[in-house]
A and B are shown apart, each in its own frame.
Chain A
Amino acid sequence: MRRTSLYDWHVAAGARLIEFGGWEMPVQYAGILDEHRAVRERAGLFDLSHMGELWVDGPEAGAALAYALVTDPPRLGVGRAHYAMITGEDGGIIDDLIVYRTGDTRFLVVPNAGNREAVTAALGERVKGFDATLDDASLATALVAVQGPRAADILAPLTDIDLGSLRYYAIARGLAAGIPALVARTGYTGEDGFELFVAWDAAPAVWDALMAAGAAAGLVPVGLGARDTLRLEAGMPLYGNDLDRATNPFEAGLGRVVKLDKPADFVGRAALERIAAEGPRRRLAGLVVRGRGIARHGYPVYYPGDDEPCGVITSGTVSPTLGVPIALAFLPPDEVEPGTILECGIRDARVAAEVVPLPFYQRPT
């Protein structure tokens, strides 16, 4: 199992560690609920160094990515980012990604830790024939995120980047705690916040500086447990739970990400055009369980009274913010209207569950 450059810090802080995507990562420090609330109310600090960082470089880097992904990266302005997916020829999702354009001919692609090798392999194949190179910098790049309503206040004194002009889904190069960094206004929590890409060995210095700068604001370290409850409240899918190779973007409710109108041919276009025309056979939807118990990944969903499941839970938790059990589920496309009442099989019991609009939680603006 791999360890990040912050591993010793996590151990010293008493974190509980788990295996995740081939990495030994903190799942919690003080506790998932406390960490979750800290991010919603103040700020949290995350070690995300397990995530991948793949650079695509060259005169045809944009064109190569337009062929490789479902999005249209050449349309990104320099310093901007978007959410993207890489699919197979059948339209099945290999991974979901963030693509940052850091220069005219330079793009940073961030895959999930567990998919880094699959994405690197697929991208490597797909950039062949373009005047572009692929470089997997994952093991040389650390990623630290500060997320929450106080994130900007905490980071601002430590950086020469003007955070006020750094928009959501923008990225800028500068210094953070005196260390060269790429600072992006992106995240996976539903809050305002920043992700800082720095050299692998520089992460502890950046982390310590942020912890010190954030102490007065109530910044706490946050593990993968609260990262999961935060992203689920925000209605963001997690690869491996809600998305996988057998799922296409339209089923996942992410059809808007697929740019069928882009000029370039791209891997998966034929299949995705067909799915877009026919409509998906199932849809990812939000459920609130109107009873006791958490509807977890793999639990069945039924029409009330039916014996055969009509759907399946892909992610579930108790929402720390809302105080009720929430879940994402694949449902028949006709049953995703908010207000629809279904049943979830939670161990031996049938518990009523209501379809609700996503996201479950939206930060106050």
Chain B
Amino acid sequence: MEVRDGLRYSDDHEWLRLEGDVGVIGITAYAADQLGDIVFVEMPAVGATLTLHQAFGVVESVKAVSDLYAPVGGAVVAVNEALAGRPELVNSDPYGDGWMVKLRVSDTAEVDALKDADAYRELIRAG
């Protein structure tokens, strides 16, 4: 399963890419593979404010439902509208077109606390 260098990772299998003060967030290839074919993604409203570890959405596959937890706190500035019609993008391109939300990060220290790619590889290797 691909773990992309340069991204930050949460213990809940989300990735974050910092673009200025905006964090782009999705779930990892490992998480998408574990869930199987994803058929629904429920996301927050633009403008909602999330705190660290807050459940902000749901990703649902044929077999399982999984909550999405904010890897950092911040205000939602965009959600990936394409996933409403094409949730399978989370499986086919988890680090690209399968992104989920963009947050204006409120505390960059929370970004620094996330894992780097090597630490996340270690996490999934440990199972």
Interface residues of chain A, those whose CB is within 8 Å of chain B, are 16, 27-28, 31-33, 225, 229, 292-294, 296, 317-318, 320, 347
Contact = CB atoms under 8 A, between A and B. Distances in A.
Main secondary structure of the interface of B (DSSP, over half): strand
Contact of A294 (B36, B40, B84): B40
B42 interface: yes
9 contacts: A16-B36, A31-B37, A33-B37, A225-B62, A292-B40, A293-B60, A294-B60, A296-B65, A318-B40
A318 B39 contact: yes
Nearest to A224: B63
Contacts of B42: 292-293
Interface string B50-78: 00000000101011010000000000000
A347 B60 CA distance: 12
Contact of A28 (B36, B60, B84): B36
Nearest to A229: B62
B40 A33 contact: no
B36 A31 contact: yes
A92 B45 CA distance: 47
A16 B33 CA distance: 10
A315 to B, nearest CB: 12
A27 B62 contact: no
A31 B63 CA distance: 11
A347 B37 contact: no
B59 to A, nearest CB: 11
B58 A317 contact: no
Contacts of B58: 293, 347
Nearest to A31: B37
Contacts of B60: 293-294
Contacts of A16: 36
B108 to A, nearest CB: 31
Nearest to A16: B36
A123 B59 CA distance: 44
Contacts of B63: 27, 32, 225
A33 B61 CA distance: 10
Nearest to A30: B37
A117 B51 CA distance: 51
**The 5 residue pairs across chains A and B that have the minimum distance between CB atoms:** A318-B39, A33-B37, A32-B62, A31-B37, A32-B37
Contact of A318 (B62, B65, B84): B62
Contacts of B39: 294, 318
Contacts of A317: 62
Nearest to A349: B42
